[in-house]
């Protein structure tokens, strides 16, 4: 195989792998005035307290998708949150790419939850609910 064909094959393979990749994004929100953290009790088989997160649709910009998820799941205006990109985490067991953000709000808003969440709460770092999603305590410690 010549160089040109090899490059073409690799590009096609890379595009196919990219199209298969699942992308999600989430934001851990902190109220600037109270220093409290916003958490959601996810409506999963085993409910756990987690940050606000959701799947990004194919072809959707990650930030646009995260703001759409905030609107859908919480019924709040995402412009009430200042988003700060932290990094991308790769979840090899499910092939998902997770874009993690910290968010800052001037007030403790009161969301209207959709079916994906059972409860919400604003919590101090010293009085967190349990059980927390794996890895969330470390994120909370750093915000």
**CA geometry: angle 67, 117, 77, nearest 5 deg:** 30
Per-residue model confidence (pLDDT) at position 24: 97
pLDDT band at 2 (very low <50, low <70, confident <90, very high): low
Name the residue ranges covered by the structural domains of the chain.
Answer: 22-142
Q: Domain 22-142, what architecture?
A: Alpha-Beta Complex (3.90)
**Torsion angles phi and psi, residue 104, rounded to 5:** -130, 130
Per-residue model confidence as pLDDT tens digits over 29-84: 999 999 999 999 999 999 999 999 999 999 999 999 999 999 999 999 999 999 99
Confidence at 16, pLDDT banded by 50, 70, 90: very low
Q: What is the pLDDT of residues 78-124, one digit of tens each?
A: 999 999 999 999 977 778 899 999 999 999 999 999 999 999 999 99
What is the model's pLDDT at position 18?
Answer: 44
pLDDT of residue 91: 79
What is residue 132's DSSP assignment? B
């Amino acid at each position: 195989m010549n160089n040109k064909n090899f490059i073409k094959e690799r590009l096609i393979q890379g595009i196919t792998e990219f199209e298969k990749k699942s992308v999600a994004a989430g934001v851990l929100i902190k109220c600037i005035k109270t220093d409290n953290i916003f958490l959601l009790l996810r409506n999963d088989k085993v409910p756990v307290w987690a940050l606000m997160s959701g799947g990004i649709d194919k072809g959707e910009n990650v930030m646009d998708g995260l703001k759409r998820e905030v609107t859908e799941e919480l019924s709040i205006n995402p412009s009430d949150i200042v988003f700060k990109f932290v990094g991308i985490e790769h979840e090899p067991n499910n092939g998902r790419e997770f874009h993690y953000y910290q968010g800052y709000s001037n007030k403790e808003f009161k969301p209207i939850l959709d079916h994906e969440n059972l409860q919400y709460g604003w919590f101090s770092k010293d009085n967190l609910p349990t059980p927390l999603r794996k890895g969330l305590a470390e994120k909370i410690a750093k915000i």
